[in-house]
């Protein structure tokens, strides 16, 4: 077999994985098409990552899930499919137009009744979630400079045993640059410092390569909320 260039190879392997383990899905395909048609950026999680989110939710029997960063609702569809029957997902999005696309996508996927899209800056809408807490699973995937603040909120809105998943924690290795003046990089670096020293969580991170390049996800387990 011809040796593919790295990016091409990663994408081809992602396709192979998706073909065998994820499969075709009309609702997800329609969601991505609607996202593109609305001019939203293609920065949704990859299909194999989306399925990982669903499986994690199923593994812990998630009844309440919180997502920060909805975009067109692609990851929200996966997360909501992982809910136990009668469960509920709240997803936070700053952009009203994205939220509208997401609502349509979720309704088309048959998930309109179990998902609520709340519009506003997450730092403004998170304080209103105390009554809906504790969440069993929280997926953080919004503006990266705020990731440390979102992690703090995620722990506050958790119970012992909750999972916190954070996207984009590698960014092609840019996170290694301690002197970076990129606020995205500094946000993620601060997240690692907090996650590595906060006695309330125990976590790890995995590098990912694939259709979305070289990046990574962190997974934290909340051990105590006190």
Q: Which residues does 142 contact at the CB level (< 8 Å), separation at least 6? A: 68, 69, 92, 94, 122, 150
Q: How many CA atoms lie within 13 A of 183 on its CB side?
A: 5
CB of 225 to ligand SAH, least distance (A): 23
CB of 69 to Mg ion, least distance (A): 7
Q: Which residues of 16-43 are buried (b: 16+ CB within 10 A; e: fewer)?
A: ebbeeebeebebbeebbebbeeeebeee
Pairing relationship of beta strands 163-167 and 137-140 according to DSSP bridges: parallel
Q: Check residue 27 and give left, alpha or beta (phi > 0: left; psi -120 to 50: alpha).
A: alpha
CB of 174 to ligand SAH, least distance (A): 17
Beta carbon nearer to ligand SAH, 1 or 33 = 33
Residue 120 CA to residue 189 CA, distance in Å, equals: 25
CB of 171 to ligand DHB, least distance (A): 8
Count of positions on this chain that bind ligand DHB (CB under 6 A): 4
Which of 35, 70, 105, 168 forms a contact with ligand DHB (CB under 6 A)?
168
Instruction: Show the tokens assigned to 148.
Output: 């440390």
Asked if 35 is part of the footprint of ligand DHB (rule: CB under 6 A), the reply reads: no
User: Interface residues with ligand SAH (CB under 6 A)?
Assistant: 43-45, 69-71, 74-75, 92-95, 98, 121-122, 141-143
CB of 141 to ligand DHB, least distance (A): 5
Q: How many CA atoms lie within 13 A of 35 on its CB side?
A: 22
Which of 15, 27, 43, 107 forms a contact with ligand DHB (CB under 6 A)?
43
Of these partners, ligand DHB, ligand SAH, Mg ion, none, which one is at the site of residue 56 (CB under 5 to 8 Å by kind)?
Answer: none
CB of 200 to ligand SAH, least distance (A): 23
Which of 14, 67, 93, 167 forms a contact with ligand DHB (CB under 6 A)?
167
Q: Which residues of 52-71 are buried (b: 16+ CB within 10 A; e: fewer)?
A: bbbebbeebebbbbbbbbbb
The DSSP secondary-structure symbol of 22 reads I
Asked if 93 is part of the footprint of ligand DHB (rule: CB under 6 A), the reply reads: no
Beta carbon nearer to ligand SAH, 65 or 142 = 142
Beta carbon nearer to ligand DHB, 15 or 43 = 43
Contact residues: ligand DHB, CB under 6 A? 43, 141, 167-168
């Amino acid at each position: 077999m011809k040796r593919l260039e790295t990016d091409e190879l990663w994408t081809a392997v992602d396709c192979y994985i998706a073909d065998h383990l994820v499969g075709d899905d009309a609702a997800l395909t329609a969601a991505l098409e609607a996202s593109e048609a609305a001019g939203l950026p293609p920065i949704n999680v990859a299909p194999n990552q989306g399925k990982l989110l669903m499986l994690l939710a199923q593994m812990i029997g998630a009844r309440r899930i919180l997502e920060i960063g909805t975009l067109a609702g692609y990851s929200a569809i996966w997360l909501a499919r992982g809910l136990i029957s009668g469960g509920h997902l709240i997803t936070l999005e700053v952009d009203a137009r994205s939220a509208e696309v997401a609502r349509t996508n979720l309704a088309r996927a048959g998930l309109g009744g179990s998902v609520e899209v709340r519009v506003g800056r997450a730092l403004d809408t998170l304080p209103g979630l105390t009554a809906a807490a504790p969440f069993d699973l929280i997926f953080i995937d919004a503006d990266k400079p705020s990731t440390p603040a979102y992690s703090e909120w995620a722990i506050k809105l958790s119970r012992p045993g909750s999972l916190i998943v954070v996207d984009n924690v590698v960014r092609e290795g840019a996170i290694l640059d301690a002197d970076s003046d990129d606020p995205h990089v500094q946000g993620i670096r601060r997240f690692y410092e907090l996650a590595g020293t906060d006695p309330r969580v125990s976590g790890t991170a995995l590098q990912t390569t694939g259709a979305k390049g070289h990046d990574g996800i962190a997974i934290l387990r909340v051990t105590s909320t006190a």
